């Protein structure tokens, strides 16, 4: 009887020991949950000609995944919030956020990581014709306040990728020389998605510089005199990459417009900037540029550069005013245009 008890006890101890060993070798530990990324959005502006104020009332942002319908209200809506965390609307003069300045509109909201096929900016109460109200969206030019339309109060932009990084920030930049269009014989304006870009705020740089005063009238058909806030035609254009040999450096145009469908061999600018005078020198500035190679070109004859159509403006003018630059993330580069 005693022998059986000893054997039984040993067997039990052996069994317990085996179980303990297996637990040590195969611990039943659940993986830590992956944190949902916190995403921040800013808006910024590259200025337009002949206007002094561009005001838009923003309501929310919608992120659309592959399964969402482009034409309905599906998708992940991110409302703008007030200081109490309640949904609100915000009227912003885009012209106040130039040369690298930007305005925070959505701060550290949870967004599931993934590929989103489009980002939609939802505006509030923008007028839909030239006789509309100017209390929510309007432009100020030399004739006063003008209604500003956004198509169905939505600006449908391109794709955006939210990575697994814990914190991310994006800048929505309005290149107004591309996206702002005068309509109804100057009675109103349209704000189009064309020329509005989404960039990762941590992966961009800037380039700026001066333009020699002698270049303002040195090229062909450059008689127009520089004057602030006018269509003076002294423009610096920037192109992604180095254009292929024989390619034409184009002025601003919208490739989605019917009149531009048959344009070939023309390199469309990434952006353009009407030069300004700071009291000492004539300057240009491009901010929020994704890292990479770019080509800069100056034209002194870019009067009437319509953002919809290709106007066959001579770029560069004078001919030799072209530079190639490399933009690095968080880098600031200076490139001047000087008389040869």
At residue 5 the predicted structure's pLDDT band, cuts being 50, 70 and 90, is very low
Each residue of 142-152: pLDDT tens digit? 999 999 999 99
At residue 24 the predicted structure's pLDDT band, cuts being 50, 70 and 90, is low
297, 250 Cβ separation under 8 angstroms: no
Residues in the chain: 340
Q: Is it the case that residue 15 has pLDDT exceeding 50?
A: no
286 contacts: CB under 8 Å, gap ≥ 6:
46, 206, 207, 208, 236, 238, 271, 273
At residue 221 the predicted structure's pLDDT band, cuts being 50, 70 and 90, is very high
SS3 24: helix
Each residue of 280-322: pLDDT tens digit? 999 999 999 999 999 999 999 999 999 999 999 999 999 999 9
Query: For the chain, what is the total number of helices (H) and then of strands (E)?
Result: 2, 25
Q: How far is CA 293 from the centre of its chain?
A: 18
% of the chain exceeding 90 in pLDDT: 81
% of the chain exceeding 70 in pLDDT: 90
pLDDT at 32: 65
Q: Is it the case that residue 28 has pLDDT exceeding 90?
A: no
Q: Is it the case that residue 11 has pLDDT exceeding 70?
A: no
pLDDT at 6: 41
Q: In Å, what is the CA distance from 293 to each residue of 205, 242, 252, 266?
A: 11, 7, 20, 18
Please compute the mean of the pLDDT values over residues 248-273 and round it to a whole number.
90
């Amino acid at each position: 009887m005693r022998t059986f008890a000893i054997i039984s006890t040993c067997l039990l101890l052996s069994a317990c020991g085996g179980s303990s060993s297996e637990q040590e070798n195969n611990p039943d530990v659940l993986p830590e949950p992956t944190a949902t990324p916190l995403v921040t959005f800013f808006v910024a502006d590259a200025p337009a000609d002949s206007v002094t104020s561009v005001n838009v009332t923003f309501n929310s942002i919608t992120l659309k995944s592959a399964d969402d319908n482009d034409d309905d209200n599906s998708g992940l809506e991110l409302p703008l919030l007030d200081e109490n965390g309640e949904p609100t609307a915000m009227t912003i003069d885009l012209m106040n956020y130039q040369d690298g300045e930007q305005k925070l509109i959505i701060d550290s909201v949870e967004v599931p990581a993934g590929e989103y096929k489009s980002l939609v900016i939802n505006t509030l109460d923008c007028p839909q014709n030239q006789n509309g109200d100017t209390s929510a969206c309007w432009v100020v030019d030399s004739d006063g306040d003008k209604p500003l339309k956004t198509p169905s109060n939505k600006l449908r932009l391109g794709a955006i990728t939210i990575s697994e990084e814990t914190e991310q920030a994006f800048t929505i930049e309005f290149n107004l020389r591309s996206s702002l269009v005068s309509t109804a014989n100057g009675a109103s304006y349209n704000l189009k998605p064309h020329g509005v870009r989404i960039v990762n705020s941590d992966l961009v740089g800037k380039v700026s510089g001066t333009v020699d005063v002698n270049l303002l009238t040195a090229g062909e058909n450059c008689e127009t005199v520089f004057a602030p806030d006018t269509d003076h035609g002294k423009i610096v254009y920037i192109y992604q990459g180095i254009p292929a040999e024989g390619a034409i450096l184009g002025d601003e145009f919208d490739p989605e417009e019917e009149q531009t469908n048959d344009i070939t061999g023309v390199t469309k600018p990434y952006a353009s900037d009407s030069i300004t005078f700071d009291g000492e020198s004539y300057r240009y500035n491009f901010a929020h540029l994704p890292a990479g190679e770019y080509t800069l070109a100056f034209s002194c004859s870019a009067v009437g550069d319509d953002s919809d159509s290709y106007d066959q403006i001579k770029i560069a003018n004078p001919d030799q005013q072209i530079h190639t630059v490399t933009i690095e993330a968080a880098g600031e580069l200076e490139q001047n245009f000087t008389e040869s």
